[in-house]
Amino acid sequence: MSTRRGLSLIEIVLGMAILATFAGPLAYLFISSNRSRVSARDMSVAMNLSNCYLSALKDLPRSSLGVLAPTLDSAVSSDFSPHHLEIPDSPERFTRELEIREIPVPEGLSKAYRMIVKVNWDRGSDRKKGEFILESILPSEPW
């Protein structure tokens, strides 16, 4: 009967190999899950930023609507500014751009406008940009 206790080198190497076989994929799963969580959070922020803007624009008097070239929300005229519309400013990594186009309508109908809100953001570590665009059509008076 042997009185030596402990593990041999082969047993230690074999145990580490088995551990690495399971730990590697598990670590990858945690990393990719975190990336997905961050991406979903950013997309949710972008959707909320654009939805707030469009909702506030729809509440404006129709007579104040007009054509607006693509403009960052920090540089738009006072009628369309986030402060005037009482909507939150864009967070640090996000920029919001507003564009209003007049769209052709059949003769006899009132003007209609296509409102486009584009939200861009820096995705951080992967050096890519995220983009979300929300559009809505609004008649200058009810059809």
Q: What pLDDT sits at residue 131?
A: 94
pTM: 0.76
Quote the domain boundaries for residue 134. Answer: 8-139
Cβ proximity of 95 and 131 under 8 Å: no
* CB environment 17-34: b (16+ within 10 A), e (fewer): eeeeeeeeeeeeeeeeee
Cβ proximity of 85 and 53 under 8 Å: yes
Domain membership of residue 3 (yes or no) is: no
pLDDT one-digit tens code per residue, 68-99 = 899 998 888 888 888 889 998 888 889 999 99
**If phi over 0 gives left and psi between -120 and 50 gives alpha, with beta otherwise, what is residue 84?**
alpha
Domain membership of residue 34 (yes or no) is: yes
pLDDT one-digit tens code per residue, 51-69 = 999 999 888 887 888 888 9
Domain membership of residue 2 (yes or no) is: no
